[in-house]
Structures are given as structure tokens and as C-alpha cells.
Structure 1
Amino acid sequence: MNPDLELISRDLSAATAEAATVSELGMVISQQIGKAVPHDGYMLRGVDPLTGAACFLAKEHGYEAAFYRALETEEILGRDRHTVVALVESARTVAVLVSGASDVRHSVQHEDIMNATEVGGEMRIALTLRGMAWGVLVLLRGRGSRPFSATDAAHAERLSGPLAGTLRQYVAGRFLRPVRGAPAPGVVVIDGDDTIRAVTKTGREWVRRLVPENVTADEDEIFAHIWNIALAARQPGRQALSRIPGPDGWIVLQAQPLDEHGSGGVAVTIESASSDVLLPAAAVLYGITSREQAVIGRALEGLAVKQIARSLDLSPHTVNDHFKAIYRKTGVNSREELISSLSR
């Protein structure tokens, strides 16, 4: 019996609206796609759509933190054949790996990891909309289970767009506001061999905020985002920045090498996201145009409508029209609410 993929897509969107946490989002997605592609475990990774850096992770019966970290390293270093970027560039959204099938493996390291676990098959689904990546969903089947089939892959391919829309819907539902009452910026320093050299007091406070509530995690899992962004900072030409939607506001991670070659230590800063970091994300989350971003920026500077109009060479009527469009897209009701939401 063929699953009703359109019904699954509709149910997926409706259920996502009720998800309050990343963990709940992961469960919703797993339950819905499981109707078409049964699986034993999953890992859902959201990425910052502007930089590609990881911004959250939900999983159940997935790879352990140390194994997952090794896989992340392979991807960031470009040694994995089926990264999200590679799938987008190849116009495919789904890749399947079967343990022991070297011709379709993601990487040598990945094959070693599968052999060291009870995972027998993996399906990787790139979650993209109009060429922009929002994340990746990894479905796992245990060793001895039926391998993922071509039919499974075809179902996943058809659901990849709705899944990406679900991810975007969830993130857009966390309005772009900084964390209120947040501690001072925190810093984590990582050595060239990925050993944590130092963590400031506020750094530890911020790191704990990156771990979902009611989750018991070891150090590998707690510092997963930190290692990920630190590794990205060592790659030439890559922006090591991730905007992370938290339950009480957005957090930003930024990393930079401590030496000019990028091969040594890395300093990672964690803090409440400022409006200048959040506004570019508004363009992709809510369809805010560059002109509307400029209007918001002037409003955050405290300028009145007439002053905004003069600074942007617009009429006051046009500026008010831009505000109305911004309110409609973001769901706020007034200029005061907009400014209050975006201000620390």
C-alpha cells in the first residue's frame, strides 16, 4: 500500500505548529515521515541558512555523540561525499548508505563508524527550499533490518521539500529576539587538537543553554556546537557563525582562529544575538526585503518616520507601507513591539 504523501505533508505542517522544542520537532518529523519511510532512529540537524553552520540537533537512537562528532568533522573537512552542499549541487536530496557497500559509502571514516555501531543502513535527506539549505535529516535502520530501498528513497525525495518547509516554519515561529536577561558574552578556547583549553564562567552558562532541557548529556554532546563552529573557523573562506533559536531568544556563536594560519587554537564567543546579526536572517525567514531591513535598522536607531524617509530617499507614506508589510510578515502589531523584540 502506497502512503499518502500529500496527507503526510499536511499533517507534518499541522503537527509542527504544536512543537514547542527542538526535541518535540524531531519526534513530530520522525513520526510523520515514518509513515512513508520506517526507521529505527533519526538525527535532525538544523543549519543556519546563511552560513551552513549547525544550529540545533534532535535525535533518537542515533549515533552516539562521539561518533556524530566524527561524522561532522568529515563533512566540514569535505571528506564526506554526501554533505548537504554536495546533495544540493548534484540536484539530489537523498543519499542511501548500506553497511559494507563501499561503492555507496559516504566516506571511509563513516564506514568505520557504521561498523563500530549497530547501524546497518542510513538515509540522508537534504532539507532545502529554492536552493537554500535548512538542515539534514538522517534516518537509521539497525543492523539486520531491511535496507532502505529505492522506493523508500523516492518517498523521501518527494517529502524533502515539505520537510524543509517544516524546519523553516519551526524556526520562523521563534521570532527574532535576543535572549533577555542574558549573562555577559562567554568564551570557549579550543586547542588545535580540539581539546577544550579554557571556558569562562559565562561560557559554561551559555553552553548549558545550547543543550535541550531535561536532557542528560556528556561533554561531547554538551560542546557539540562549539566543536562544530571551531572546526568551521579553520576552513578558509567559511563564515564561522551560527544563529541558534533558543526557547527564550536567539543565541549567536562566532569563532575565529588564534593564529593567522587557522591550524591552531580557536576562540568561540557565545552571546545573545544582536539585531545586526538577526536582521539578515529575517530576509530568509520572513521574506523581509533589503529595503524593509533598512527601514527596521533606522527604526532601531530611534528615527521617526519622516527621518527614515529622508535618510532613505522615500516618502513617509512609502515608509509606513514598509512597516505594514513588516508587521504582516513577522506577526508583530506595532513599531514599538518590533523594536522591543529586536532590542536587547
Structure 2
Amino acid sequence: MVSGGAGRGVVGLERALQGVVETGRGAADVVGVAATRLLKVVPADIWCAVLLDPSTLLDTGGVHESGFPERVMPRLFEIEHVEQDGVDNLRALTRRAAPVSSLKASTGGAIESSAYYRDILQPLDMADELRILLRERGRTWGLVVLCRSTDSAPFGSRDLAAARAFAAPTTRAVRRSLVVTGTDEGSAPDGPGFVVLDAAQRVVECSPSAERLLARIELGGAAGRPKSCPYAVRAVAAAARAGHPGTTARSQVRTRDGHWLALHAWRLFTAPEPVTMVAIGSAEPGMLIALVLEAYGLSERQRRIAQLVLHGWSSEEVLAELHITRNTLNDHLEKIFDKVGVRSRRELTAAVFSRHYLPRLGLGPLALDGRLTAPPPAA
């Protein structure tokens, strides 16, 4: 059970984050407000909050002003997204039941055994790191990272308990912010752009279109620095380098003005050294429908049914397609209506289209990043 101080902080957090969501501000503002309140209960010397694409676990934005210095970021991305190594690696954390973890505790006190500690924390004179997953129903929407220096006490059980209490309301608010702000149908005036990154994640080439698009993304690092690149772009580039030749990594990132951009990265084996290409362009509505439905908290089966209903399928057609009983379908529809806040199929369609500007939907089941996936098994 959380201590009284942490418990009162959570109650205040719920109210504060609801206010952020109701004013239509984005998910980055949500995690920023939440982290600021968390720091009053769990102090840290370095901290950052990262938003993640639930389907790829790649960065889509966040708050980095008090985070890691620029010089360590290439190695940090390499450990996190390429090597995917370490006891508290992001992907390892998503497979655990607990949403919080202290690196010192995870290593059993032998923190020097961690490459992440040796290469990232130790050079910065940091002695421990606390990670907090923003996760709900198996989907991870973000990560809050707190670090303490050698002059500060390591994170203890009370810190972890307070962090656990902050995780759930923050995750709910992030998800609600996506529902409230929705998606957009804006387009880039001159089409997609291309960025070329070298092995050190430095920008070596950048098309004029890409420059304009990059200017709309939060850098996540030192603003205005020449050759700097948003962390979301560097994360998807790191994922492409980690894959097999020909692999394309995909992600999405939200701009300062609330629009979504799609990122596609792949590696080119050129002389004298390989480079990574990143294409940046407006995300089509069809790429975001699964993320929108996920944001409402729908299960995989409920998302599939909602997609079919939104496309105008009758109950008989849905029953034949999914091989389920009418009672099962009605039960799913009731839960869908409740989560979206509507009372009928017609209201469901009106709500999704009016809130999220989705002119048309594909029939195939979609991953959160818009890729077609295999049909789900029958219930």
C-alpha cells in the first residue's frame, strides 16, 4: 500500500491530468505534468519522459529538457534499440508484471555488471536509475526515467511504491489525450522528406521537405544545434540498423501542432560506411485507425469488430466473418459502446469519424502502426 503522502499525490495527479486532457493538450504535456508532480515525491537529478508507439516501442516524442546530454544519446539508442541488452532494457521491462524497476535492485547490487550503467550512467556520475512503464492492457504508451547521482541515495521501496501509484493514472491520461486530441487529416505542403544518418546518428543529408518537417517535431535534445535530430527519428533509425538487411522500421511521431508524421527507416550499405535512410511524411488516417481504437482501451477482438462496424458490416456479416455467436457479438458491442461513450452503431461511427477525421478504413486487421496483420483467431 502506498504511503499517505504518495496517495494524496495520486489523487491530485488524477485531477491535474484530467485538466490537461480536457484542454486538448497533447500526450507530451500529460507526461510532463505527471513527471513534475512525481518528482516532488521521488526526487531525481536527471529525468525524462518518453512517449512510445505501443506496436514498436519506438519514441514518438516526450519531455527531455532535464534528461540525458546529447553526447550519450547515440550509445543509449544503440543499447536500447539495437543491442536490446540489459536487465532493465525497455523490452525486458514490458515482459514483467511490475511497471517499475530500479537498476540497482534489478542487478542485485552489482550495478557495474550493466553495460547501460558503465556506458551511460557512470560517466554522468549517476548511481541508480528508476524506470516507470506507462502500460495498460499489455500496451506500453510511454516510459518515465529518473536518475540519481552518487551524492544521492539509491531508489528505495518507498520510491518504487510511489512510482507504481503514479503509473496507472498517468497511463490513463495519456490514452485519453489521444482520444480527445484525435488524429488529423493534415498534409505536408510539399510531400515527404528524407534524412540520411551516419553510424553515429549524425545527419549527413537532409532534403528541404525533411527540414521543414523536422522543425515541427520536438528535438528531445539541445534545441537549435546544427546536425541535431529528434530522438524519435534516431530511435527508428536505430531499429532499422538492428534488423536484417532490407528491413524497414516504422514509427509515428506527433508534431508540436498536434499532427502525426509517419517515419520509415532502412539501412543502406554504402561506401565508406553504411548509412540509414529515414523517410518522413504525413501519416495517412488509415495508418492511425488501430492506434485510435487502442486508445479507447478496446481488446484485439473488440478492435476488429469495431473496424467491421465502422465499415458498415451488418451483424450477420460480422458473425460469418468472425465465426462467433450473436450473444458474443452483442456482448462485445456493449463493451465497445461503453468504452467509446456511445449507445449505438450509428453513434459509434459518428463519434470516431467526428473526433478523429477518418474518411475511410481498410478492411484488414491492423497493427498499431497501420500494418496489415493476420486475421485474429476465432473466439
User: Shorter-chain-normalised TM-score: which range?
Assistant: 0.7 to 0.9
CA–CA distance in 1 between the matches of 2:117 and 2:282?
35
**Partner amino acid, structure 1, of 2:249:** A
Q: Secondary structure at the match of 2:103?
A: strand
Q: Secondary structure at the match of 1:254?
A: strand
**Partner amino acid, structure 1, of 2:258:** D
C-alpha deviation, 1:173, in angstroms: 2.9
Decide whether aligned partners of structure 1 residues 16 and 22 sit closer, same or farther in structure 2, where only a CA change above 3 A counts: same
CA–CA distance in 2 between the matches of 1:22 and 1:309?
33
Does the alignment pair 1:92 with 2:116?
no
Does the alignment pair 1:280 with 2:281?
no
CA–CA distance in 2 between the matches of 1:10 and 1:340?
39
**For the Cα contact (< 8 Å) 2:26–2:177, is it kept in 1?**
no
CA–CA distance in 1 between the matches of 2:96 and 2:202?
35
Alignment-derived partner of residue 332 in structure 1: 354
CA–CA distance in 2 between the matches of 1:192 and 1:69?
9
CA–CA distance in 2 between the matches of 1:102 and 1:200?
48
Alignment-derived partner of residue 83 in structure 1: 89
Task: After superposing the two structures, state which structure 1 stretch, 270-279 or 179-188, moved more.
Answer: 179-188
**For the Cα contact (< 8 Å) 2:47–2:64, is it kept in 1?**
yes
**Partner amino acid, structure 1, of 2:348:** A
Where structure 1 has 5 or more consecutive residues not aligned to the other structure, the ranges are 299-307
CA–CA distance in 1 between the matches of 2:160 and 2:138?
20
Does the alignment pair 1:187 with 2:201?
no
CA–CA distance in 2 between the matches of 1:290 and 1:314?
10
**Partner amino acid, structure 2, of 1:185:** P
C-alpha deviation, 1:135, in angstroms: 1.3
Task: Return the TM-score normalized by structure 2.
Answer: 0.72
Identity, % of aligned positions = 20
CA–CA distance in 2 between the matches of 1:181 and 1:153?
43
CA–CA distance in 2 between the matches of 1:94 and 1:339?
36
**Partner amino acid, structure 1, of 2:75:** A
Q: Secondary structure at the match of 2:215?
A: helix
**For the Cα contact (< 8 Å) 2:17–2:170, is it kept in 1?**
no
CA–CA distance in 2 between the matches of 1:341 and 1:249?
18
Decide whether aligned partners of structure 1 residues 92 and 120 sit closer, same or farther in structure 2, where only a CA change above 3 A counts: same
Decide whether aligned partners of structure 1 residues 168 and 6 sit closer, same or farther in structure 2, where only a CA change above 3 A counts: farther
The 5 A counterparts of 1:1-344 are: 2-19=3-20, 20-21=25-26, 24-76=29-81, 77-98=83-104, 103-104=110-111, 107-180=114-187, 182-192=189-199, 194-211=201-218, 216-219=223-226, 222-236=229-243, 240-246=249-255, 247-258=257-268, 264-286=274-296, 287=298, 289-296=303-310, 298=311, 308-309=312-313, 313=317, 321-328=344-351, 330=352, 332=354, 338-339=357-358
CA–CA distance in 2 between the matches of 1:74 and 1:54?
14
Cα deviation digits, residues 8-57 of structure 1 (max 9, x gap):
33432332244435664343112322343222332000100122111012
**For the Cα contact (< 8 Å) 1:179–1:248, is it kept in 2?**
no
**For the Cα contact (< 8 Å) 1:171–1:245, is it kept in 2?**
no
**For the Cα contact (< 8 Å) 1:41–1:59, is it kept in 2?**
no
**Partner amino acid, structure 1, of 2:306:** E
**For the Cα contact (< 8 Å) 1:12–1:29, is it kept in 2?**
yes
**Partner amino acid, structure 1, of 2:103:** L
Decide whether aligned partners of structure 1 residues 106 and 162 sit closer, same or farther in structure 2, where only a CA change above 3 A counts: farther
CA–CA distance in 1 between the matches of 2:240 and 2:113?
23
**Partner amino acid, structure 2, of 1:251:** L
Query: What is the number of residues matched between the two proteins?
Result: 324
Q: CA RMSD in A?
A: 3.7
Q: Secondary structure at the match of 1:148?
A: coil
**For the Cα contact (< 8 Å) 1:3–1:35, is it kept in 2?**
no
Decide whether aligned partners of structure 1 residues 217 and 140 sit closer, same or farther in structure 2, where only a CA change above 3 A counts: farther
CA–CA distance in 1 between the matches of 2:132 and 2:112?
15
CA–CA distance in 1 between the matches of 2:91 and 2:207?
34
Where structure 2 has 5 or more consecutive residues not aligned to the other structure, the ranges are 320-329, 334-342, 362-379
**Partner amino acid, structure 1, of 2:277:** A
Cα deviation digits, residues 56-97 of structure 1 (max 9, x gap):
120343211222342222011212321232112132322223
Task: After superposing the two structures, state which structure 1 stretch, 190-199 or 46-55, moved more.
Answer: 190-199
